[in-house]
Amino acid sequence: MLTNQMNDQPEGLNGETCAPVCDRRGFLRRGVGALGASVAALVILDLGELKALAQKAGVPTRPAGPVLGGYDWTKHNYVYLIDLRKCIGCGSCVRACYRENDVPAGYFRTWVERYQVSAVGELVIDSPNGGKDGFEPSIIGYEVAKGFFFPKLCCHCTNTPCVQLCPVGASYRTLDGVVLVDEKRCVGCGYCVQACPYGSRFLHPVTHTASKCTLCYHRLTRGLEQACVQACPVGARRLGDTKKLGDEVARIIATERVQILQPELLTEPNCFYLGLTKEAR
């Protein structure tokens, strides 16, 4: 009964003059066809656009590495090693970072904290001006059983939260393992500053964009070590490259008991510590 009714309808209404366009099935068929063609056109156009861009730049879109003035970023993967047993808390690294990177006063790309633990576990942590002016003897009311200095900087995480939530693609991780901020794209929303579990980002008071340790990318690409590494008088801060054959720091990280900060967050930091202790946080 039903099929009969449906077949009868077009004839009954319009006779033979109106062919398949009128009936619902024919209309849908043509409509879907047109929609499909449009989507195909869109895809082709967009692909063409991307290809044209890549050709203009003269590089393949992925994954070969470009050369920044003779520097191939696919041939490096940087890691950073801090030996807390060596650090003397002189703050030279902080001062060097300030001079190298023109850091605004009161903000830090790297800083040093002082931990003073008593025999029964009392703990005082301080970092006057980030350790930039060194440390003065302090009266804390107990004898220090365990004291150490704790230098911190951006961990340049492999699985970094700051890059993931940047709404404008201003935060990114380079192929050689450095987390950078594109100051021209950054809108200064500060999401990344809040997202960083290590507190290593800040909003620049003048440019109002996110700023952070760049691992002295301008030095790395010229084959030099970071200002902080070069400044450290006791070799507590070291730069490594896991893609470099026979790299001493890469060997230490691969074979010794190195630790990372807040491993439970699964951010996979590339800043490793030797001599980390339970009080360190």
Partner 1 sequence: MEHTKHIIRAVLLLVLATVGFVLVRHFVYPESFGRYGHYRFDSVAEHASKELEHGAPGVCNRCHAEEAQKKAEGKHASVSCELCHGPLGVHVKADAKVGDMPIDRSVKLCGYCHQRLDARRSDFPQVVLASHALEKGAPTAEMACLECHNAHKPNE
Site for partner 1 in 29-58 (CB under 8 A): 30-31, 34-35, 37-38, 41-42, 45-46, 49, 53-54, 56-57
Find the shortest distance in angstroms from Cβ 242 to partner 1: 20
Per CB under 8 A, 191 contacts partner 1: no
Residue 112 burial (C-beta neighbours within 10 Å; 0-12, 13-18, 19+):
buried
Give 95-157 as a DSSP string.
Answer: HHHHHHHTPPTT--SEEEEEEEE-TT--EEEE-GGGGTT-------SS--SEEEEEEEE----
Per CB under 8 A, 13 contacts partner 1: no
Per CB under 8 A, 234 contacts partner 1: yes
Picking from 106, 85, 86, the residue whose alpha carbon sits closest to that of residue 94 is 106
Q: Report the C-alpha gap between 81 and 257 in whole angstroms.
A: 12
Question: For tokens 């929303």, what's the residue?
Answer: 189
Question: For tokens 């039903």, what's the residue?
Answer: 2
Q: Which of 24, 51, 208, 218 binds partner 1 (CB under 8 A)?
A: 218
Nearer to partner 1 by Cβ, of 123 and 254: the residue is 123
Per CB under 8 A, 28 contacts partner 1: no
Q: Report the C-alpha gap between 14 and 16 in whole angstroms.
A: 7
111 to 140: interface string for partner 1, x by CB under 8 A: ---xxx-----------------xxxxx-x
- The piece of 92-100, 238-246, 254-262, 263-271 that touches partner 1 (CB under 8 A) is 92-100
Per CB under 8 A, 83 contacts partner 1: no
Q: Which of 106, 169, 205, 263 binds partner 1 (CB under 8 A)?
A: 169
